[in-house]
């Protein structure tokens, strides 16, 4: 009887302790603050927000510099009509920005932060950069538009590592479309860069991957200086004054092997006698930098590629069935999940980008 009484007392104490902890640590519910409904300015809303909140900005023009110093989402109603006339400074980890237009000022600056995302945003007419990452790592800049900026469209500098810069449209900036300085292990892919000083510029930066970018109408297509062990392949460089500049740079890789191929260079003068879509001779940049397998067709933005013809397709089966796909052709499939049943009824090579990330997931009929 005594033991049962002791057990009941201990259980009661435990339950009381749990209730006390629960009451002193209530779960925080994330909320949305709307500008100008709840607060007249974006900065007022940010100051009032707590970690994890969303600040939603209705269409209009807001003429103030913005400082985001806590992890939250700053989202506009539409990127063409929700306009911040000023500089946006991100000073906290894990900030997300989307559907905004930032113009004038110094652009969007991420400094000493990690884990930030900028998506579907416009940065135009800044006095310096569209977006600048300064000692900013593990972040993503994607599906953004950068134009009419005084310096670079996108700049990574001061040890900005492990970032992904993808699917951005950059044009009419005075210096670099994308500049990478003193930064490593970044992935720069599928960006469109038009009418800038230098399309892609890397300096004192090693181990970056640059692929599937379309660079046209630039003075210099790609400039790599004092940099090594960078991989550049499946890019298209066209309509340039100077294709490349590679001062004091060696051991960079300019192709993805055969038959995947290297880059497309509009001034490549070699032949493709066997019609495999790969130039018969290397594209020579200098003694230490050569594209061994230059593409004779520009790289398609679609995810499945016939290397021989240069044509792109949305699905693997579409590429195989195409009237332009013949026996002995090579079909290259980018990383991704392809939900389709594939029938290979031609004698060809079907090559995935990566055995772990290029996945065919069959579907039931």
Report yes or no: 180 and 162 within 8 Å, Cβ to Cβ.
no
Tokens 């009509």 — which residue? 81
Kindly report the pTM of this predicted structure: 0.88
pLDDT of amino acid 166: 98
Q: What are phi and psi of 42, to 5 degrees?
A: -65, -40
Q: What is the rounded radius of gyration, in angstroms, for the C-alpha atoms of the chain? A: 26
Q: Hey, what domains does the chain have and what are their CATH numbers?
A: 32-291 (2.160.20.10), 305-360 (no CATH)
| 3-state SS record for the chain | CHHHHHHHHHHHHHHHHHHHHHHHCCCCCCCEEEECCCCCCHHHHHHHCCCCCEEEECCEEECCCEEECCCCEEEECCCCCEEEECCEEECCCCCEEECCEEECCCCEEEECCECCEEECCEEECCCCCCEEEECCECCEEECCEEECCCCCCEEEECCCCCCEEECCEEECCCCEEEEEECCCCCEEECCEEECCCEEEEEECCCCCEEECCEEEEEEEEEEEECCECCEEECCEEEEEEEEEECCCCECCECCCCCCCCCCEECCCCCCCCCCCCECCCCEEEECCEEECCCECCCCCCCCEEECCCCCEECCHHHHHHCCCCCCCCEEEECCEEECCCCCCCCCCEEEECCCCCEEECCCCC
Closest C-alpha among 326, 314, 319, 309 to residue 351? 319
Q: What does pLDDT average to in each consecutive run of 10 residues of the chain (365 residues)? A: 43 40 48 97 98 98 96 97 98 98 96 98 96 98 96 96 98 96 98 97 97 97 96 96 92 95 96 96 94 96 95 97 96 95 95 93 85
C-alpha span between 356 and 360 (Å, rounded): 11
pLDDT of amino acid 30: 78
| 3-state SS record for 318-345 | HHHHCCCCCCCCEEEECCEEECCCCCCC
pLDDT of amino acid 365: 73
pLDDT of amino acid 29: 61
C-alpha span between 87 and 79 (Å, rounded): 16
């Amino acid at each position: 009887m005594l033991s049962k009484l002791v057990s009941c007392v201990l259980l009661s104490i435990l339950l009381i302790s749990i209730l006390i902890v629960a009451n002193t640590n209530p779960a925080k519910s994330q909320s949305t603050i709307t500008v100008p409904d709840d607060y007249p300015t974006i900065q007022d809303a940010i100051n009032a927000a707590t970690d994890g909140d969303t600040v939603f900005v209705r269409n209009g023009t807001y003429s103030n510099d913005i400082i985001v110093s806590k992890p939250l989402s700053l989202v506009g109603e539409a990127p063409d009509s929700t306009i911040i006339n000023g500089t946006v400074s991100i000073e906290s980890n894990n900030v997300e920005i989307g559907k905004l237009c930032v113009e004038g000022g110094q652009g969007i600056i991420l400094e000493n932060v990690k884990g930030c995302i900028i998506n579907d945003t416009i940065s135009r007419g800044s006095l310096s950069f569209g977006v600048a990452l300064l000692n900013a790592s593990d972040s993503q800049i994607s599906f953004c538009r950068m134009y009419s900026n005084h310096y670079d469209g996108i700049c990574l500098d001061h040890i900005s590592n492990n970032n992904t810069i993808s699917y951005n449209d950059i044009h009419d900036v005075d210096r670099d479309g994308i500049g990478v300085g003193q930064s490593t292990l970044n992935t720069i892919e599928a960006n469109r860069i038009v009418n800038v000083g230098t399309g892609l510029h890397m300096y004192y930066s090693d181990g970056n991957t640059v692929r599937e970018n379309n660079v046209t109408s630039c003075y210099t297509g790609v400039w790599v200086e004092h940099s090594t062990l960078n991989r550049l392949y499946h890019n298209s460089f066209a309509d340039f004054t100077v294709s490349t500049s590679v001062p004091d740079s060696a051991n960079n890789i300019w192709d993805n092997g055969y038959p995947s191929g290297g880059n497309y260079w509009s001034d490549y003068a070699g032949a493709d006698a066997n019609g495999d879509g790969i130039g018969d001779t290397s594209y020579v940049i200098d003694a230490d930098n050569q594209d061994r397998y230059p593409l004779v067709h520009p790289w398609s933005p679609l995810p499945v590629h016939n290397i021989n013809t240069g044509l792109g397709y949305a699905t693997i089966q579409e590429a195989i069935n195409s009237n332009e796909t013949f026996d002995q052709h090579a079909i290259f499939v980018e990383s991704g999940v392809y939900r389709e049943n594939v029938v290979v009824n031609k004698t060809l090579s079907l090559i995935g980008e990566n055995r772990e990330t290029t996945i065919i997931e069959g579907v039931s009929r």
